[in-house]
Homo-oligomer: A and B are copies of this chain.
Amino acid sequence: MTTDMVTTPRIRKSPYFEATVRAGASQFTVYNKVYLPFGYDTPEAEYQAITEAVTIWDVACQRIVEISGPDAHAFTSLLTPRDLATCAPGRCRYVFITDPRGGILNDPVLLRLAEDRFWLSCADSDMAMWARGIAVHSGMDVAIDTPDVSPLQIQGPRAREVIVALFGQAMGELGYYHCRETALDGIPLVISRTGYSAELGFELYLMDGARGVELWDKVMAAGAPLGMKPAAPSRIRRIEAGILDYGVDMDETVNPFELGFERLVALDKDMDFIGRAALQGIKATGIRRRAVGLEIDGAPISYNERPWPLYRDGDMIGHATSVIHSPRLEKNIALAMVSVGSAQPGTAVCLATPDGERNAVIRELPFIDPNRRKSRA
């Protein structure tokens, strides 16, 4: 459903807000206290643009938390089970932020801009509050800021052509999960080769909120000849790729092992991190549930407004968290969390939708691009 939303000073308008309204955004949600455009066209039309051409997304709601100072490396390492020792300046990492129980508080993309300067490009939970709370008694010399930085994603097979048109050939060759500071006609930016799709993609981190519409217009001017369309992050594309949505597919009750992301947990890394003991315990005793894919019978499903229960032989075994119809697979697919005993691909289950039950089958994740997910840096 959609409802009227009132704009209030409590919730930020993105620096791109006026440009997105002009481009046809009429529905918004709120993400990290920032308005996030929910779409400009049908999800199917936006899916076509991201899979066949290129899209531009206002994701200023990916709020940036900056950690800097002499102990920035040790402090950032404290927040995540990933080993950052091999993350050189100019490189990025997909990381989990874990609490003392091993639960996931956020899953940002980390950018190491310098030896002693890190950015967390955050999902929808307040990592500045968490990091500042940790810092109070950590005894470490760090500054934690929420700088004026507003990401814009350029995603789709023609994304590189847009970047080359704007920044030249060398920037188009920026390595996967690399980042670099630059400028566009004096607009200060960081660029990374990352994104919330499994398509070729870049992110532009605008570092001057007064120049959002100007940046948007320059990118659109370069992209229009390539078929660039403004779009919202594509639910269809991310579910096909098994990309998780924080607050939907996981929250603080979920740990990285349940998501199948053991490779992002360096239990024996040199530096201390929050959640190590709990995650060691979970690894020793094993998990009880696991994130899986789901194929669902019947007519196309466009959306689930809440998790839908899954049953097997009459017992509840878990929930489908993100359900969608994939135009490419011509199937209903979903991300789900189920008991390990029912996580085997091929297991037949029953999905309770608000409109009745559907037969479904457990599948491996991702549905498309198996190599991409495994290689996510």
Using CB atoms and an 8 Å cutoff, list the residues of chain A in contact with chain B: 1-11, 26-31, 33, 35, 38, 99-100, 105, 124-127, 129-139, 245-248, 274, 304-307, 321
Contact = CB atoms under 8 A, between A and B. Distances in A.
Contacts of A305: 7-9
A135 B101 CA distance: 13
A20 to B, nearest CB: 11
Given A7-B305, A8-B305, A137-B138, 12 more contacts: A3-B5, A3-B7, A4-B26, A5-B29, A6-B38, A9-B304, A33-B124, A129-B133, A132-B133, A133-B133, A133-B135, A137-B137
Given A9-B306, A129-B130, A305-B9, A3 B3 contact: no
19 contacts: A1-B6, A2-B6, A3-B5, A3-B28, A4-B38, A5-B29, A5-B30, A6-B29, A8-B29, A9-B247, A9-B304, A9-B305, A9-B306, A10-B247, A11-B29, A33-B247, A105-B129, A129-B129, A133-B135
A279 to B, nearest CB: 15
Contacts of A9: 247-248, 304-307, 321
A211 B277 CA distance: 38
The 10 closest A-B CB pairs, nearest first, are A133-B133, A5-B5, A137-B137, A10-B247, A30-B30, A126-B126, A4-B27, A129-B129, A133-B134, A2-B4
A168 B178 CA distance: 66
Q: How many copies does the complex hold?
A: 2
A2 B245 CA distance: 26
A245 B138 CA distance: 31
A21 to B, nearest CB: 8
A99 B132 contact: yes
A4 B7 contact: no
B124 A10 contact: yes
Nearest to A127: B129
B136 A100 contact: yes
Contacts of A27: 3-6
A5 B26 CA distance: 9
A143 to B, nearest CB: 11
Given A134-B137, A137-B138, A248 B8 contact: yes
Nearest to A304: B9
Contacts of A2: 4-7
Contacts of A248: 8-10
A105 B146 CA distance: 14
Contacts of A5: 2-5, 27-30
Contact of A31 (B10, B105, B126, B136): B10
Contacts of A4: 2-5, 26-28, 38
Contacts of A274: 136
Most chain B Cβ neighbours within 10 Å, of A137, A245, A246: A137
